[in-house]
Chain A
């Protein structure tokens, strides 16, 4: 077994198998596990996926939302055990891989067209 195969086999133990297919432009709901005073609860975070980064166990998605008039972007490590779930709520139509142009837009202009050819 070569070095890469060994590293991949170690990563395989930590990879989640139940991750749904997510595309750039989708609106997703992410359940973040939050610890407060010894208690755990799940806080949902909803927004548009504006970027994805592949990389095996280091795979991330960047989710953008407008919260109280302020743009918030969070980068989630997809395989992290601190994420309870990831759901696609709406499939969006995007013509590029990174939707950074949404940062310069406000209000109605930030909407993406919905697409129906991909199942939720």
Chain B
């Protein structure tokens, strides 16, 4: 299995396939990613490839990071991410990976930070039903009962309540790559991916249980 790639969500649109059906697609700026470190069994105890993405000004990074990137002669990069891979021999330090690592029709898993919705109530966060708005009712957006009385005398763990919604890492699995634009490093993926446009995305070949 090849390693994944880092990218940025650009937004959604729709395109038409050969039969004329419209497909909703998310446009992703995938790469270019630089191989910044190769970890091997002998030196690190496990084998992995570290990729860097998104060039920034040198002043945006601190000296230890700049020193680390200087080893692979990479430009200053904002995001570093490691991918476990048994075949690290296929990669060289300083090599550039682009959207071409994926092909049209391939299935991918995409993870990123979902849109933050702040401290959300019961209706928005857990799709609870609302209370009556009129007829003397004061129970509009309350949770109702959260459990029994003296026995057990506590609320069971896992009870769905109000709290932070979104803004956490979410993975959407088995999305189909519709098109790969190698010139501009673009991936067109069928369906929606987490986050707003501009979100950092981690795109890896689909992990199928029982395979690879």
Contact = CB atoms under 8 A, between A and B. Distances in A.
B20 interface: yes
A58 B29 CA distance: 22
A6 B10 contact: yes
Nearest to B198: A3
A63 to B, nearest CB: 18
A77 B13 CA distance: 14
Interface string A21-36: 0000000000001000
Interface string B176-193: 000001001010100000
Contacts of B15: 10-11, 13-14, 57
A57 B14 CA distance: 7
Contacts of B58: none
Contacts of A58: 14
B27 A10 contact: yes
B11 A10 contact: no
Contacts of A70: none
Contacts of A11: 13, 15
Contacts of A80: 16, 20, 22
Interface string B1-39: 000000000110111100010100001010000000000
A5 B175 CA distance: 24
Contact of B16 (A7, A14, A33, A56): A14
B14 to A, nearest CB: 6
Chain B interface residue bracket vs A: 10 to 19
Nearest to A1: B184
A4 B13 contact: no
B167 interface: no
Contacts of B10: 3, 6-7
B68 to A, nearest CB: 30
Contacts of A6: 10, 27, 29, 184, 186
A4 B13 CA distance: 10
Most buried by A among B10, B11, B184, B186: B10
B132 interface: no
Interface centre among A10, A58, A79 (most CB of B within 10 A): A10
A3 B16 contact: no
Interface of A: 3-4, 6-7, 10-11, 13-14, 33, 56-58, 77, 79-82
Instruction: Give the 4 A-B CB pairs with smallest separation, nearest first.
Output: A3-B10, A81-B20, A82-B20, A7-B13
